[in-house]
Amino acid sequence: MADISTIILAAGAGTRMKSEKSKVIHKLCGKSMIKWVYSQAEKINAKKIITVIGNKREQVIATLGEDKDYAVQEQQLGTGHAVSVALDSIVDGGIVLILCADVPLITSDTLQKAIDFHIKSRCAATVITVDVDDPTGYGRIIRGENGNVLGIVEEKDADDDQREIHEINAGLYCFDVALLRAAISNLKNDNAAGEYYLTDTLAILLENGYCVGAYKKDDACELMGINNLYQLSVAEKIMRTRINTQHMLSGVTIINPENTYIDADVTIGHDTVILPGTMIGEGCVIGSGCVIGPNSNLCSCTIGDDTEINSSTILESKIGNNTHVGPYAYVRPNCIIGDNIKVGDFVEVKNSTVGDGTKISHLTYVGDSDVGGNVNFGCGTVTVNYDSKKKHRTTIKDGAFIGCNTNLVAPVTVGKGAYTAAGSTITEDVPDNALAIARNRQVVKPDWRIKKYGK
């Protein structure tokens, strides 16, 4: 088996995106286009992957990672020139796969089949092609009588007859490395754009008696290039369908797939039900037997088994087993919420740990707190964690009972089994099993309204 290297072209300006961001870092289903392409290249076990960068290169490096291999195209002089700056890092004797960072729907299965076709055909180059209803803007495939490729004509250089061809170049190729290197050295830029076309290497190979093949893919969607934000939205819908379908085939119930948004690299256990309007971000891990939604938003979080998240937001936190969150709860980053817990309606938890069996039923804020197990929070409790300069932590030990409308002014500790009376503002530590009352005695003034305002 020949060594396979991959070049990913990501240097273009992408002006049609009308964005300050590099085109290839725009996301679909939570992952940037270039990451989608790079991940597929990794799956075919490429010996080396080189990304060609140029325009807004810092953004691409920040997205893909500094540990990757890059080649810099200082001037955008066409696809042939882009490939040439990467070839210096690839040795002869193998196959090089050329990919575009703005074709994010491509799969490793298609890439592997194209490589297998290339090896079996013994061609110097193989073009990945597809038939499309509207070929406007794409290079047209010119085939000979034996089906081999005679050339690729770009839209701006095509005549009327050639523009009627519907088989187009997807911009993805396999080449023999040594033959590609020789062909690129002979490229010229005598065309309408003044650029060095990678497609012209095919004509050079043909003139020298080599065979050029074409691996034709039957799914045009997979080879869709993204040039503007509308096309990105179309690709997003296709990718979302793929992701949802895979989860359903793995035992997840999705009530309304068209109204459920699951990003890449999400793990969901069997027998979990996802209700409409739910958004699950990249990196989430959800256990088995859960109910998520409706209208819930989960981002970078871990959810245990048999847990319900009802109309709530969970960000960068961990929720245990058999726990109920919501409706309308907000769990902010850096929370660890244990098993058999209730985080009820209009509850906010932030940067806190909550022990097993605790109930935070409604209208409560728990911030910067360490809460033990089997604690009961009365309605309207607030951990007062900010003194205008620093955040402080509250500690509530196992079995404590926090009365309604209690303010716990941090730093403060409520001991094991301790109680706070409703309406108290607690500023000092409460010992184990004690009752803390921090409020004035009620004063009743008879006939106060009549004396003040009259009958």
Q: Given the DSSP bridges, would you call strands 95-100 and 4-10 parallel, antiparallel or unpaired?
A: parallel
Tokens of 349: 């938890």
CB-based contacts of 246, cutoff 8 Å, min separation 6: none
CB-based contacts of 404, cutoff 8 Å, min separation 6: 378, 379, 380, 381, 422, 423
- Given a cut of 90, is residue 17 above it in pLDDT? yes
> In this predicted structure, which of 147-156, 214-223, 399-408 has the lowest mean pLDDT?
147-156
- Given a cut of 90, is residue 404 above it in pLDDT? yes
Give 328-366 pLDDT, tens digit per residue: 999 999 999 999 999 999 999 999 999 999 999 999 999
The 3-class secondary structure across 269-311, one letter per residue, is CCCCEECCCCEECCCCEECCCCEECCCCEEECCEECCCCEECC
Q: For residue 154, what pLDDT is reported? A: 78
| Number of residues that make up the chain | 455
Q: Which residue has the higher pLDDT, 159 or 179?
A: 179
**Largest Cα–Cα separation, the chain:** 111
- Given a cut of 80, is residue 2 above it in pLDDT? no
- Given a cut of 90, is residue 60 above it in pLDDT? yes
- Given a cut of 90, is residue 454 above it in pLDDT? no
- Given a cut of 80, is residue 406 above it in pLDDT? yes
For the question of residue 324 being annotated catalytic, the response is: no
Q: For residue 129, what pLDDT is reported? A: 94
Cβ–Cβ < 8 Å for 130, 218: yes
- What is the set of domains in the chain, with CATH numbers? 4-223 (3.90.550.10), 246-436 (2.160.10.10)
CA distance 67 to 62: 10
pLDDT band at 45 (very low <50, low <70, confident <90, very high): confident
Residue keyed to tokens 């700056």: 85
- Given a cut of 80, is residue 382 above it in pLDDT? yes
Give 387-398 pLDDT, tens digit per residue: 999 999 999 999
Q: What is the mean pLDDT of residues 37-49?
A: 93
Cβ–Cβ < 8 Å for 207, 187: no
CA distances from 21 to 31, 56, 225 (A): 14, 8, 17
Q: Which residue has the higher pLDDT, 149 or 157?
A: 149
Q: Give CA 84 to chain center in angstroms.
A: 31
Give 113-153 pLDDT, tens digit per residue: 999 999 999 999 999 999 998 888 888 899 988 888 988 88
Annotated active-site residue in 26, 81, 118, 362: 362
Give 163-192 pLDDT, tens digit per residue: 999 999 888 999 999 999 999 999 998 877
Tokens of 184: 């690129």
The single-letter DSSP state of residue 169 is E
Q: Tell me phi and psi for residue 309, to 5 degrees.
A: -120, 105
Q: Given the DSSP bridges, would you call strands 336-337 and 261-262 parallel, antiparallel or unpaired?
A: unpaired
Q: For residue 349, what pLDDT is reported? A: 98
pLDDT band at 1 (very low <50, low <70, confident <90, very high): low
- Given a cut of 90, is residue 320 above it in pLDDT? yes
Give 77-86 pLDDT, tens digit per residue: 999 999 999 9
Q: Which residue has the higher pLDDT, 12 or 348?
A: 348
Give 427-441 pLDDT, tens digit per residue: 999 999 999 999 988
Q: Model-level pTM?
A: 0.90
Among candidate residues 107, 96, 84, the one with its CA nearest the CA of residue 36? 107
Among candidate residues 114, 101, 79, the one with its CA nearest the CA of residue 184? 79
Strands (E) located in 144-255: 149-153, 167-176, 212-216, 253-254
Q: Angle at Cα 99 formed by Cα 93 and Cα 102, nearest 5°?
A: 165
Give 252-271 pLDDT, tens digit per residue: 999 999 999 999 999 999 99
Q: Angle at Cα 243 formed by Cα 240 and Cα 247, nearest 5°?
A: 135
